[in-house]
Structure 1
């Protein structure tokens, strides 16, 4: 579950070896193989592209080479209908649409975090946890899906056991989500999470307040 805006890797130039000698004269040399691609950013700062972003393109390619009849496109429409139904409060209807999307294009299942949310709010915690675990297996840097899996399993097994089963993921670039991840993984004070971002942007305040509230919900 990534943020609503994404950045792709920056293009990089390729470097070619010089064919001149020390005095500037051209030297006849055997051609060298191109050097491996190197990002202009250091490895730790190179943003990863979510696999979920690549799914529509990959699905289109698959339909093209397999002669498919637009199953991926129909599945995408079903996902959109499911999201709209969830917003309208028809949670059961949203799950039906998400399941239809999987029937139309089984590849969708590994990316349907929306389905996990709907299942959670239908108290289908086992199914929701399985969805989130599947998603994290595809995207091992998804902080929010790790937390939502914990929320589901806290309802199933209790907080202590859910924490033992906690899905560890890579470092999130968002400070608010790093703090939220640490709170759910190790325990702590949710009020501190909310207060730490009370003067931050609306987005950070929203996430801090949301996950502080969900932390309390996990304790019930």
Structure 2
């Protein structure tokens, strides 16, 4: 299916807590249920100015009519549901299936190459904007890969996602978590992905903690009287920080606290499910309740 047939940019209001992985993709633009928050403003572009050329280039990269975006959406929905149920391996199978079904997702690396080739053309910025809206950054897949100990693939997924959206605090942290397991905390911190300022105070502090090092207990204590989501996220990321340092008992304490918090128990936030899956994968609990 040609680019002109599948894209109709939508303008969304500014994000509110929980922001979660802010990124522009076809699934998040056209299907907000796949985003963990309302996307930031999409680019409003005049398609008539450049789409005939860009569309033909894009179809040449992606295989044109070979895409099955609706089936890909269904696969991602299935993957998310399987992850929430604790079937991490099954979720990766579905996310990979989505990539196969929607050939646009194979074009992420082609995008980098082609945008460089368009360096001297006025069309470049418009092309980049539309490709940002078309590429699916499967942050869900990256999370699942982490829990399957496929850290190199997980880091690659998160680095690609941050390249698309350089203001994504959480994906920067998750890239660090993957690379810390591969190379150690010191090396991971040296190659930490710097991103823009997060609108959420708790995630700004979590970002600084992972980027610069520090005391996870301070993160938790600073938000003990905060909103329910802040209490949850502070405990979750304190636990993840301890896990990166190899301090499993402290990691267990804080992630269990995140699960037991009101937000962790009642919210349908994907990260609330992740905290429960984390406990299950670490054999800290016998179920997801």
- 1:159 to 2:185 alignment: yes
1:106 offset after TM fit, Å? 3.4
**Aligned counterpart, 1:126:** 152
**Aligned counterpart, 1:51:** 24
**Aligned counterpart, 1:90:** 87
Distance change >3 Å, CA 76–CA 111, structure 1 → 2: same
SS of the counterpart of 1:51?
coil
SS of the counterpart of 1:111?
coil
Distance 1:107 1:212 in 2: 36
Distance 2:103 2:207 in 1: 30
Q: TM-score, normalised by structure 2?
A: 0.55
Distance 1:81 1:75 in 2: 10
**CA offsets, 1:141-196, max 9 Å, x none?**
00000000000000000000000010000000100000000000000000000111
Match of 1:182 among 208, 216, 221: 208
Task: Give the conservation status (yes or no) of the 8 Å contact 2:23–2:164.
Answer: no
**Aligned counterpart, 1:104:** 101
1:108 offset after TM fit, Å? 4.0
**Aligned counterpart, 1:38:** none
- Size of the aligned set, in residue pairs, is 172
**Aligned counterpart, 2:68:** 71
Distance change >3 Å, CA 186–CA 77, structure 1 → 2: same
Task: Give the conservation status (yes or no) of the 8 Å contact 2:66–2:102.
Answer: no
Distance 1:143 1:88 in 2: 26
1:51 offset after TM fit, Å? 1.2
Of the two structures, which has the highest relative contact order with CA contacts closer than 8 Å and spacing of 6 or more? Answer: 2
Q: TM-score, normalised by structure 1?
A: 0.72
1:68 offset after TM fit, Å? 3.9
**Deviating more after overlay: 86-95 vs 109-118:** 109-118
Distance 2:67 2:213 in 1: 46
State how 1:181-200 maps to structure 2 within 5 Å. Answer: 181-200=207-226
**CA offsets, 1:5-51, max 9 Å, x none?**
x9526xxxxxxxxxxxxxxxxxxxxxxxxxxxxxxxxxxxxxxx841
Distance 2:30 2:155 in 1: 22
Bigger share in helix? 2
Decide which structure has the larger Cα Rg and report it: 1
Distance change >3 Å, CA 71–CA 56, structure 1 → 2: farther
Structure 2's unaligned 5+ residue stretches are: 1-10, 15-21, 33-41, 43-54, 107-135, 247-289
- 1:210 to 2:266 alignment: no
Structure 1's unaligned 5+ residue stretches are: 1-5, 10-48
1:70 offset after TM fit, Å? 6.7
**Aligned counterpart, 2:78:** 81
